């Protein structure tokens, strides 16, 4: 072949690869950061670690907030150092399921938080369940102040009364509101987010986002349009059934995310979480 012929062939190959690359990028499914994940083990996990990592891979989940009851599952997710998966570990304030009822004023849980924190890699505390005036307690205030002092997020499953008490303990507290109140009106969610700039809403089990036919409701579409930098999505694998419906949960998120402008969808799917935990990810 002549030199010009070779050059044309090389140029053709370069254009062909560029076209392939563009096509691949256009088709790449949205990355997802699962911001509400439990790898519970009492005493054994529902799926072993390899299976769980495979579930993340096949759903293009590239980051997780890792929590578990007890914290052993989180240690395993951190230690796995799985390629392509950012693991952001949170201290779960529970050893067993019954701790859900008592963690907020049980001194043993304060000690648990202190000893787990010494591992050095944690970025938050939660998910913790708390309702109403229980959030006013001394130990809760101590945990809030500890979180602020150590630059940790709180991941809280709470009603609005408890949320306001948590926010009132320390103006610098940063809270991921698990389930965004389940059913708190979108208008009230908007007001709370405007008043508390460090409040993030996680959307598992959140009611009202879609309506008939799985389409986004106009109210939520409007809230995402103005506040797309304030929401996160998660699987909430709190029971085994959530692991075997994991693919379906992510598919449902992808369906309504696809109705949003791409920049909003990307923020909610993964960029917000990356922004919150960027720079210090293990
Ligand atoms: Zn949960």
| Mean pLDDT computed over 219-239 | 98
Q: How far does the centroid of ligand 1 lie from the alpha carbon of residue 72, in Å?
A: 16
Tell me the CA–centroid distance for residue 35 and ligand 1, in Å: 10
Inter-residue contact 257 to 31 (CB < 8 Å): no
Across 159-188, average pLDDT: 98
| 65 CA to centre of ligand 1 in angstroms | 11
**H or E element in which residue 49 lies:** helix 49-58
pTM over 0.75: yes
Distance CA 107, CA 167 (A): 22
Conformational region of residue 214, where left means phi above 0, alpha means psi within -120 to 50, and beta covers everything else: left
Give distance in angstroms: CA of 231 to centre of ligand 1. Answer: 16
pLDDT at 25: 52
Question: What is the pLDDT at residue 213?
Answer: 85
Distance 47 CA to ligand 1 centre (A): 17
How many angstroms separate the alpha carbon of residue 238 from the centre of ligand 1? Answer: 5
- At residue 11, the pLDDT reads 57
Residue 198 CA to residue 276 CA, distance in Å, equals: 10
Q: So what's the pLDDT on residue 2?
A: 55
Distance 127 CA to ligand 1 centre (A): 6
- Portion of the chain with pLDDT greater than 90, in percent: 86
Residue 262: predicted pLDDT? 97
Cβ distance 92 to 71 under 8 Å? yes
pLDDT per position as a tens digit, 121-148? 999 999 999 999 999 999 999 999 999 9
Q: What is the mean pLDDT of residues 17-39?
A: 75
Tell whether the model's pLDDT for residue 68 goes beyond 70: yes
> What tens digit of pLDDT does each residue of 2-11 get?
555 555 565 5
Residue 171 CA to ligand 1 centre (angstroms): 25
Tell me the CA–centroid distance for residue 256 and ligand 1, in Å.
Answer: 21
What are the residues whose beta carbons fall under 8 Å from the beta carbon of 228, sequence distance 6 or more? 260, 263, 264, 267, 268
């Amino acid at each position: 072949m002549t030199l010009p012929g070779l050059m044309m062939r090389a140029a053709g190959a370069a254009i062909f690869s560029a076209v392939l690359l563009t096509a691949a990028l256009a088709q790449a499914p949205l990355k997802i950061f699962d911001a509400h994940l439990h790898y519970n083990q009492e005493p054994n996990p529902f799926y072993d670690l390899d299976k769980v990592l495979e579930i993340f891979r096949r759903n293009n989940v590239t980051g997780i907030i890792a929590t578990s009851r007890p914290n052993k599952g989180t240690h395993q997710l951190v230690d796995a150092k799985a390629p392509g998966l950012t693991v952001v570990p949170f201290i779960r304030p529970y050893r067993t399921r019954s701790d859900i009822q008592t963690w907020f004023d049980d001194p043993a849980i304060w000690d648990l938080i202190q000893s787990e924190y010494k591992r050095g890699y944690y970025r938050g505390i939660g998910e913790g369940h708390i309702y109403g005036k229980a959030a006013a307690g001394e130990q809760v205030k101590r945990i809030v102040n500890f979180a602020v002092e150590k630059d940790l997020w709180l991941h809280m499953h709470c009603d609005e009364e408890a949320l306001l008490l948590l926010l009132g303990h320390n103006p610098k507290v940063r809270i991921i509101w698990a389930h965004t109140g389940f059913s708190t009106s979108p208008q009230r969610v908007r007001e709370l987010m405007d008043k508390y700039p460090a409040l993030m809403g996680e959307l598992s089990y959140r009611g009202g986002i879609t309506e008939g036919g799985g389409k986004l409701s106009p109210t939520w579409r409007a809230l995402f349009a103005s506040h797309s930098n304030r929401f996160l999505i998660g699987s909430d694998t709190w029971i085994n059934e959530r692991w075997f419906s994991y693919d379906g949960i992510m598919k449902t998120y992808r369906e309504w995310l696809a109705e949003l402008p791409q920049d909003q969808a990307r923020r909610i799917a993964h960029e917000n979480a990356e922004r919150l935990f960027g720079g210090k990810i293990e």
